[in-house]
Amino acid sequence: MVYASNFEDDDVNNNISRAVKMANMFAAEMNFLYVNTPGYFEDSETSRYKMNQACINFPESQKHIFNHFSVEDGIIGFAKVNSIDTICITTHSFTSLRRFFNNNIVEHLVNHCKIPILSLHVRN
């Protein structure tokens, strides 16, 4: 299982433990993924630091940085290259007009990926 995130948003990071619990239920190996893109380029040291801070309670899990032109295609590409069985991602579940102004990564994954997607809601 892979949990993809930018590891910046506390609401999203709070779902990491939920994703790990799901992986444990299926005896799956948990991988954490940050996709680095040209539009939101970040040096690997910064990305690794944010990921390590967000995943501090899960030191046994693998952490990866994957470069691609888009986050969506980077997640799919990483999953294919690493034979990932499930992609886990957090969604804010925007509705109505807000949805048109936000890049909906989960929707793209569901529409373009053959690997099962586990979408976790941000808890309010």
Give the separation between CA 83 and CA 115, rounded to whole angstroms: 10
Let me know if 112 is exposed, middle or buried by CB neighbors in 10 A (0-12, 13-18, 19+): exposed
Q: Determine the average pLDDT of the residues in 34-47.
A: 94
Token pair 């373009």 is at which residue? Answer: 112
What's the pLDDT at 109?
82
100, pLDDT greater than 50: no
CB 64 within 8 A of CB 33: yes
Give the separation between CA 37 and CA 78, rounded to whole angstroms: 13
Give the separation between CA 48 and CA 116, rounded to whole angstroms: 26
Give the separation between CA 63 and CA 56, rounded to whole angstroms: 11
CATH class of 2-121: alpha beta
Domain boundaries, the chain: 2-121
Let me know if 122 is exposed, middle or buried by CB neighbors in 10 A (0-12, 13-18, 19+): middle
What's the pLDDT at 25?
93
pTM equals 0.84
* 61-85 confidence digits (pLDDT tens): 999 999 999 999 999 999 999 999 9
Token pair 């948990």 is at which residue? Answer: 30
